[in-house]
Amino acid sequence: MAQLCCQLLQDLLKQAKYVPEQRRHQEILACESLLQIIQPGKSYPWEFICYHLTGYRPRRLSEDDSKLIPTKELWHDLPIYAAQLSLTLRQKLSDSPGKFFSIQDLAQKFSVCPKTVHRWRRCGLSGRFMICPDGRQRLLFSAGAVRPFLRRQRDRIDRGQSFSQLTQPERQAIQQRLRRYARFCPAERQQALHRTARHFGRSVETVRKLWAEYESRPDAEVLFHKRTAWIEPQERDRIARAYEEGQSIAVLQGRFGRSRSNLYRIINMYWAQRLKAIPIPYVWADDFADPRRQSELLDDPVAGPGPEGASDDAPLTRSSASAGAATDPDHRRDTAVADRNFPADRASSVQMYWDDIRDNEILTGPQEASLFRRYNYLKYRAALCQMQLDVQQPQGRRIRRIRQDLERARRIKERLVRGNLRLVLSVARKHTRSESEIMELVSEGNVALLNAVDKFDFGRGNKFSTYATWALIKRFATYRSRQGRRRPDTVSAEVLETADDRRPADSPILAVESARRDLQQVMADTLEQRERLIVQEHYGLTGMKQVLPRRRGCSLSQIAARVGLSKERVRQIELLALQKLRKALSPEQFDVLIQD
């Protein structure tokens, strides 16, 4: 027997099976009267349904009890509720007054098949199980339940009465129309079945069965393309790439021999698998979970129009950029540093790069905060849709939303990165040792800038330029360490062969130990006590012996717990200390400090 859709009715049915018989009989009659009261297209609260069936109202209403139950669901559940409750009564037909109809009686009365009567039960035709004179229990329908259903579902009954079996001329006409359709569109089998069904006023399943009978004949001609249920990954990728390159679905139908719906499903599965494998990190904010803030987050007047337009990646003119920078003293300082002309002997590549970025938009503090909030909110929405995405049953609407949100977030990220390219060049000029390597530092800085945009926590109220500057300094220090390790490889072989090596056998160890002793002395003279402690603990410079390597350094989290500061503050102190040591140490001594 069919199951109830409403969980509240299912729980009530379990309780109703144990009430007295008279009460159960009244609830069956209440189901039939309730089906006459409810109107199509409306919804009713559970309190009203429970009171009409049982005569009492629920004492405590939960969140589920306050939900409205639509009429279509009640039409499906109430007949099942009455039928299952009547099974517990074992009521005899001879003891019940009134006229009752069996399924065969109704089928003969309305000239329909018994299956149609069973379908009517899902539309509000209520029946009950009763014991017939032959001793068997059958589903019967009272005249009081049939008459209201006849008035309410008159169109459905008329459609059932107008049903007729296919005649031989009609079968031949359907087959001829399908063959003619297949000659011109052999890949559109499903569309041919639906159009033929509408033309002859038949169901799609009837036309499909008729065509299946035709194809099962040994002399039948194969007109529509046959395709396997399984598609190879290589073919799926070719279809998706061809669609992305601009080929229409009609062209792909003829090329791959598949229907329109099947091609759309293949393309959706391709993108679902690709999007499911993409990590989408974002920085959380409390207002992301509030649906009322959605329009405010996407259309912030401070940052400009939302991502629906093209302004997220459209640079402003130089005059408007200067006007925006004039309101922020920090941006005025960065602009003043960047606007200084390069020397005439500067490499042409640097001058060309400066000419390329000098007209970029300069973002104000409120603009950056709004853009970062919108950027992370778009990634948050995409991550939610990604969690709900089903690879086997992908929804095109959900895939389009993920791709649109990620594309809008990409445009915002480009705008943020372009607005801070001057900062990268300014910091690189301060940390370069020679004019020839400035573009290498700029390249490293741009990578650090991209990572900083993804990790910046805009909710703390800090400026992005401050966070990006520390990220650039750390990136440049790492770049220096890599260059220092590769320095011996740059020495030519001729120099190594002709050099007069007068060092003793143990001189490398002694040289390293001497550099370490000098390093300790410089640190004691240059750094404060807290800075010296953090550098020594992080790089494992404490407790070193004469001929053994230094111990493994502590992490920033461990040092923060030891000195009673935050991890971010420890990192800032370490960077300040490294800047002091870079000025006081030789390159060899600094390499000894930062080596692994």
List, for residues 345-376, the tens digit of each pLDDT value. 444 778 888 888 988 888 998 999 999 999 99
Q: How many angstroms separate the CA atoms of 492 and 495, rounded?
A: 6
Q: How many angstroms separate the CA atoms of 471 and 538, rounded?
A: 18
pLDDT at 195 over 70: yes
233 vs 236, 252, 259, 541, 594, CA distance in Å?
A: 5, 16, 18, 55, 48
Q: How many angstroms separate the CA atoms of 386 and 158, rounded?
A: 47
Beta strand ranges found along 486-579 (DSSP E)? none
pLDDT at 335 over 60: no
The verdict on domain 507-594 having CATH code 3.30.1370.60 is no
More confident residue, 268 or 186: 268
pLDDT at 302: 59
pLDDT at 576 over 50: yes
pLDDT at 380 over 80: yes
pLDDT at 336: 37
Strand-pairing partners, residue 129, are 139
pLDDT at 149: 87
User: What's domain 286-485's architecture?
Assistant: Up-down Bundle (1.20)
pLDDT at 308 over 50: no
Q: How many angstroms separate the CA atoms of 184 and 188, rounded?
A: 9
253 vs 177, 192, 222, 247, CA distance in Å?
A: 21, 14, 17, 10
Q: Where are the domains of the chain?
A: 7-161, 168-215, 233-276, 286-485, 507-594
DSSP annotation string for 21-32: HHHHHHHHHHHH
CB count within 10 Å of CB 408 equals 23
Confidence band of 341 (pLDDT split at 50, 70, 90): very low
pTM of the predicted structure, to 2 decimals: 0.48
- pLDDT, average across residues 189-205: 83
- pLDDT, average across residues 426-441: 81
Q: How many angstroms separate the CA atoms of 385 and 400, rounded?
A: 10
pLDDT digits (tens, 9 = 90+) for 237-264: 889 989 989 888 888 877 777 778 888 8
253, 187 Cβ separation under 8 angstroms: yes
* Phi, psi values for residue 43, rounded to 5°: -130, 150
Which H or E run includes 160? helix 154-161
Burial class (CB in 10 A: 0-12, 13-18, 19+), 434: exposed
pLDDT digits (tens, 9 = 90+) for 73-100: 898 899 999 999 999 988 888 888 888 9
Which H or E run includes 131? strand 128-131
Nearest to 129 by CA among 165, 88, 160: 88
286-485 and 507-594 share one CATH topology?
no
The average confidence (pLDDT) of the chain is 79
Q: How many angstroms separate the CA atoms of 107 and 111, rounded?
A: 6
Nearest to 243 by CA among 258, 224, 225: 258
446 vs 335, 417, 422, CA distance in Å?
A: 18, 8, 10
